[in-house]
Structure 1
Amino acid sequence: MRFFHELIRTLAKQGDPYAKVLAAPDDPYPHYEELRARGVLYQSSLGTWVTTNHKLANEVLRDRRFGVRKANGEKAPEFMQFDNSMLGLDPPDHTRLRRMTTPTFNPRMAERWRTRAEKICHRLIDDLLATGDRFNLMTAFAQHLPIAVIADLVGIPEEHRRTFYVLSREITPLLDGVVTYEKKQSVDAALAGMTKLFTGIIAQRRADPRDDMISRMLPMVDEGRLSMAELVPLCMFLPLAGSETTVNLIGNGVLALLRHPEQWEMVAERPELAAGVAAETLRYDPPVQTYRRIAHEPIELAGVSLPVDGELAIVAGGANRDPDVFPDPARFDITRDIGADTLSFSSGIHYCLGASLAKMEAEVAYQVIISRMPRLRQAGPVRRRGSFIIRGMLEFPLSAS
C-alpha cells in the first residue's frame, strides 16, 4: 500500500492528471480539466483509462459489457470491496438483489418520510443550539439525519442505533477505494461488530416483524430466494452507502450556499428552491466523484481498444462539469435548468437506489437550516476526508450567530 501511494505521488509530480486526482487534493476540479484536455478517453501511466466526457461516461455506466468485478467474477484490485452487498456485484446476482430491495427505496416511499426528516432536523438543531452557537455541521447534524431515517427504513431498533452509528463511522473508509493497513484493522473489527449486530437484529425482526426492509426480506430467505449470507451484507452496506451520499450532499450544499450568499437568501425567501440546491450541488460538487468499471470482453471505445479486465475510471465530478452539456459549468446556480442527467448517482443498473431519499433529505435539511439559523456563517477552515471517490468534509465549523 505504501508503494502504491509513493507511485501516485511520483506520477503526479511527473504530470499525470489522474495520479493528481488519486492524491485526493482538496480541490480536484482543476485536475479534471487537465484530464478533459487529454481527450475523451485518456490512459493514465497507472494503466487505467479515464474519462470526464459526460456522453461517454453515461454510455459506459449503461453498457452491460462493463461490470464492477473482473470478467471471471473476481474482485478487482484497488477497488471498493462490498462482497455480497449488491454494491460489489454484477448481474445476475445484482439484478436479483436489486429487485428485492427496490420496494424499500422507491420515490413514493421517500416522500412518506419527509415529515419524519423535518422532525429529525429540528431536533438536531435544538440539540446543537442548546450546547452553544458553534458546531461542526458534519458531526452535529449531517451524519445523524440520514442514519436516523435509513435506520427506520431498514429496521434497526432504537436501542441499537448508537452502535450502528459508531460502527458505520469506522467502516466508511471502505467507500474511499483504497484502505491503508492501519485503517483495515479497524475496518475489519467494525465489520465483525456490524455482522454480529445485524445477526441479532434480524433475529429480532423474525420474532417481531415490522414495516421495514428486513421484515419484508425475511420471507425471501425462508423461500430460498435470498440467503442469510446475502441479507446481512445488504443490511450493513445499503445504509452505509446511502447515508454517506446524503451526509456529504448536505455538507457540500451548505458550503456552496455560504460561499454564494445571494443564493442562500433566495432559499430563505423561497424554500421550494431547496430542490434546486440539491440538484445543483449534485452537479457542481457531488458526493461521489468517481466510479470504476471493468471490461468483461474486448471493447472498442472512443477509438481505443480495451482488453478484457481493462479498468475504466468514470470521473463523475468532471463529467458533471462537461461544458458541452452544462453551460458555464464552474458556476454554482440553484436556478439552473440542469437538463441532462448528472452522473452523481451513477447510471444504468447501478443507479443509486436511495437517490430520491437522499435528495428529499437534503432539501429538508437546507430548508430547516436556513429557516432556523438565518445568520449561519463559517467559523473556521474545513477539513476534508482525503478521498478521491467520496467528496466530503470531516470538519465544517459553523457559527449560528
Structure 2
Amino acid sequence: MTDLATERRARVQAAIVQEFLRKAAERGDPYAKILFIPDDPYPLYEEVRARGKLYKSEAGIWTTASHGVANRVLRDKRFGVRRADGTKAPEFMPFDNSMLGLDPPDHTRLRKLTVPSLNPRRLAHWRPHVERFTDELIDDMLAGRNEVNFMRAFAQQLPLRVIGDLVGIPPHHRRTFFRLSRRMAYLLDGVATVELAGDVQAAIREMTVMFHDIIEEHRADPRDDLISELLPAVDDGRLSMEEMVPLCMFLPLAGTETTVNLIGNALKMLLEHPEQREMLTDDPSLAPAVIRETLRHETPVQQYRRIAHTDIELEGQLITAGGELAICAGGANRDPEVYPDPERFDITRDPGPDNLSFSAGIHFCLGAALARMEAEIALAAITTRLPGIRRVGPVRRRGSFIIRGMLQFPVALR
C-alpha cells in the first residue's frame, strides 16, 4: 500500500473514531468528554467518580478517578504499559525502546542503570546550578521588556538548562534539542492529527541522528553526565545502542515537560491566591508546600494508562487481559475520600497520602526529586526577586487531555 493510501486510510479511521467519541460525549460519557480537552476537566472527574470507583467508558477503556484504585493499579505488576506479548497498544505508548514504554524485565534493567544519575542524594550537586540558572533567567527577564510570556521566558528555559547539563547535551546542540523537543511534545499530549504524527516521526528521526553524534562526542571526551555514565554499560553489553538513544531522547523530554508545567501552574496558583503568595513571601521555606499542593491541585500529568496482562478482578469488575485502564490522576488527586475540601488550593493543608502526580510503583518518575527541587527554587526566587509580578492577560492552555499546562502566560514583572 502506498504512503498516500495509508495516510488516507488513517484519516478515515481517525474521523470515524472522532465521530464515535463525539456521540459518546453527547450521550454523557464523562471520559469521552475528557478526551475533547475541556478547559476545566475537574467537574468531569467528579462525573467519573459518580459512575463508581471503576467504570467502563463507551470508548472501551476502564476509567477511575479514585485515589485508592489508581494507587493500587499503578503498583500492581499485573498491569503494564504494553500488552503481555510486549506489543504496544495503538496510539498508547509511543516511546519504543525508551524505559518509559517498557515493562519488566527490560524496564527494570534500564531503570537500574539510570537511577544513580538521578539519585536524590546526588541531586545536592545540582542545587547550586539550579539556583544560578534561576537567577540568570530572572536577570534576563528584568533586562528586557516589562511584560513577558512566562512560559517561554522562564518555565521552559530552566528545566532545559538543567536537564541539558545532567544528560550531557552539549551547548551547541541545545537549540536543536529544544526545537525538536517542542515538535516531539505532541507525544505526551495524547492528541495527534495525521499531519502532526508525521511531523513527530520526522523530529524523532532528526533527534536520533543528533544523539548518535552527541554519544560519539562523549565517547571521545567523557564527562560528568548521564550519557558518559551509560557508555560503559553499552561496552559491556548491559545496554544496547538501540536502547541508549531513545533513553537519552525521551527521558529529558518527559522530565522537562513535567517541570515546565509544574513551574507555570505553581506561579499561576499563587497569583490567583494572593494571601498564600504573601505567606510564601514572608516565609520562603514554604516553597516545598506550594509545589506539593500544586502537584495535587493542578496536576501537570493528568492521566496514565495501563494494560492488564491477565484477567484481573478489580472493584467487582472483571478487566480481561489486554484491557486498558485510564487513571485520571488529576481526579484522584482531588478525591474527597483522601483530601478534605479537595477543590481548595491550600499550601497549609495536611499533606495526607502521596499524590499521584509522578505516578507510583515501578514507573514512579525517576526525575521527581529533581523536578520538585527546580520548582521550589524557582518559586522562592521569583517571589523574592519579582514581588510585583502579576498576570496581565488571558492564558492559552495546551491542547491536551494528558498534560495540564500553558503555552501562553502573560505577566508583568514590575
* Partner residue, 1:72: 85
* Partner residue, 1:380: 393
Q: Which runs of 5+ in 2 are unaligned?
A: 1-13
Other structure's SS at 2:99 match = coil
Q: Indicate if the aligned counterparts of 2:81 and 2:93 stay in contact, CA closer than 8 A.
A: no
Other structure's SS at 1:209 match = coil
The 5-angstrom pairing of residues 211-226 of structure 1 reads 211-226=224-239
Determine the C-alpha separation between the residues in 1 that align with 2:190 and 2:100.
Answer: 13
* Partner residue, 2:73: 60
Other structure's SS at 1:398 match = strand
The alpha carbon displacement at 1:110 in A equals 2.1
* Partner residue, 1:173: 186
Q: Which runs of 5+ in 1 are unaligned?
A: none
The alpha carbon displacement at 1:185 in A equals 2.0
* Partner residue, 2:338: 325
Determine the C-alpha separation between the residues in 1 that align with 2:148 and 2:198.
Answer: 30
Determine the C-alpha separation between the residues in 2 that align with 1:296 and 1:92.
Answer: 14
* Partner residue, 2:32: 19
The alpha carbon displacement at 1:55 in A equals 0.8
Determine the C-alpha separation between the residues in 2 that align with 1:287 and 1:9.
Answer: 25
Q: Indicate if the aligned counterparts of 1:80 and 1:176 stay in contact, CA closer than 8 A.
A: no
Determine the C-alpha separation between the residues in 1 that align with 2:285 and 2:54.
Answer: 39
Determine the C-alpha separation between the residues in 2 that align with 1:110 and 1:51.
Answer: 34
Q: Indicate if the aligned counterparts of 1:53 and 1:318 stay in contact, CA closer than 8 A.
A: yes
- Give the TM-score normalised by structure 2: 0.95
Determine the C-alpha separation between the residues in 2 that align with 1:278 and 1:7.
Answer: 38
* Partner residue, 2:273: 260
The reply to whether residue 238 of structure 1 matches residue 239 of structure 2 is no
The alpha carbon displacement at 1:124 in A equals 1.0
Other structure's SS at 1:159 match = helix
Determine the C-alpha separation between the residues in 2 that align with 1:373 and 1:4.
Answer: 47
Determine the C-alpha separation between the residues in 2 that align with 1:36 and 1:6.
Answer: 25
The alpha carbon displacement at 1:7 in A equals 2.4
The alpha carbon displacement at 1:265 in A equals 0.8
Determine the C-alpha separation between the residues in 2 that align with 1:115 and 1:29.
Answer: 37
Determine the C-alpha separation between the residues in 1 that align with 2:408 and 2:316.
Answer: 43
Other structure's SS at 2:145 match = coil
* Partner residue, 2:22: 9
* Partner residue, 1:114: 127
The alpha carbon displacement at 1:257 in A equals 0.5
The alpha carbon displacement at 1:225 in A equals 0.7
Determine the C-alpha separation between the residues in 2 that align with 1:10 and 1:374.
Answer: 48
* Partner residue, 1:134: 147
- After superposition, what is the alpha-carbon deviation per residue over 1:11-58, rounded to whole angstroms, capped at 9, x for unaligned? 112110001111111100000001111101011011111001111110
| Residue in structure 1 matching 2:173, options 153, 160, 165 | 160
The alpha carbon displacement at 1:177 in A equals 2.0
The alpha carbon displacement at 1:118 in A equals 1.2
Q: Indicate if the aligned counterparts of 1:173 and 1:187 stay in contact, CA closer than 8 A.
A: yes
* Partner residue, 2:412: 399
Query: Please, which moves more after superposition, 119-128 or 349-358?
Result: 119-128
- After superposition, what is the alpha-carbon deviation per residue over 1:142-199, rounded to whole angstroms, capped at 9, x for unaligned? 0110110011111111111111111111100001123211111221121111101100
Other structure's SS at 1:210 match = coil
What's the C-alpha RMSD, in Å, of the aligned pairs?
0.9
The alpha carbon displacement at 1:309 in A equals 0.3
| Residue in structure 2 matching 1:352, options 362, 365, 388 | 365
* Partner residue, 1:194: 207
- Give the TM-score normalised by structure 1: 0.99
Determine the C-alpha separation between the residues in 1 that align with 2:332 and 2:245.
Answer: 34
- After superposition, what is the alpha-carbon deviation per residue over 1:61-110, rounded to whole angstroms, capped at 9, x for unaligned? 00000000112111011313100011000000000000000011111122
Other structure's SS at 1:87 match = helix
Determine the C-alpha separation between the residues in 1 that align with 2:200 and 2:27.
Answer: 33
The reply to whether residue 123 of structure 1 matches residue 146 of structure 2 is no
Q: Indicate if the aligned counterparts of 1:111 and 1:360 stay in contact, CA closer than 8 A.
A: no
Determine the C-alpha separation between the residues in 2 that align with 1:6 and 1:221.
Answer: 47
The alpha carbon displacement at 1:214 in A equals 0.6
Determine the C-alpha separation between the residues in 2 that align with 1:109 and 1:176.
Answer: 31
Query: Please, which moves more after superposition, 183-192 or 236-245?
Result: 183-192
Determine the C-alpha separation between the residues in 2 that align with 1:111 and 1:86.
Answer: 25
The alpha carbon displacement at 1:263 in A equals 0.6
Other structure's SS at 1:147 match = helix
Determine the C-alpha separation between the residues in 2 that align with 1:95 and 1:217.
Answer: 15
Determine the C-alpha separation between the residues in 2 that align with 1:25 and 1:248.
Answer: 17
Moved over 4 A (4+): none
The alpha carbon displacement at 1:9 in A equals 2.1
The reply to whether residue 51 of structure 1 matches residue 69 of structure 2 is no
1:354 alignment partner AA: G
Q: Indicate if the aligned counterparts of 1:80 and 1:178 stay in contact, CA closer than 8 A.
A: no
Of all paired residues, the percent bearing the same amino acid is 63
Other structure's SS at 2:100 match = coil
Determine the C-alpha separation between the residues in 2 that align with 1:279 and 1:121.
Answer: 20
Determine the C-alpha separation between the residues in 2 that align with 1:138 and 1:14.
Answer: 37
Q: Indicate if the aligned counterparts of 1:25 and 1:386 stay in contact, CA closer than 8 A.
A: no
Determine the C-alpha separation between the residues in 1 that align with 2:128 and 2:340.
Answer: 35
Other structure's SS at 1:313 match = strand
The alpha carbon displacement at 1:2 in A equals 2.8
* Partner residue, 2:348: 335
2:159 alignment partner AA: P
Determine the C-alpha separation between the residues in 2 that align with 1:160 and 1:333.
Answer: 41
The reply to whether residue 94 of structure 1 matches residue 107 of structure 2 is yes
Query: How many aligned positions are there?
Result: 401
The reply to whether residue 227 of structure 1 matches residue 240 of structure 2 is yes
Determine the C-alpha separation between the residues in 1 that align with 2:18 and 2:130.
Answer: 40
Determine the C-alpha separation between the residues in 2 that align with 1:199 and 1:375.
Answer: 45
Determine the C-alpha separation between the residues in 1 that align with 2:56 and 2:131.
Answer: 46
Determine the C-alpha separation between the residues in 1 that align with 2:179 and 2:141.
Answer: 19
1:49 alignment partner AA: W
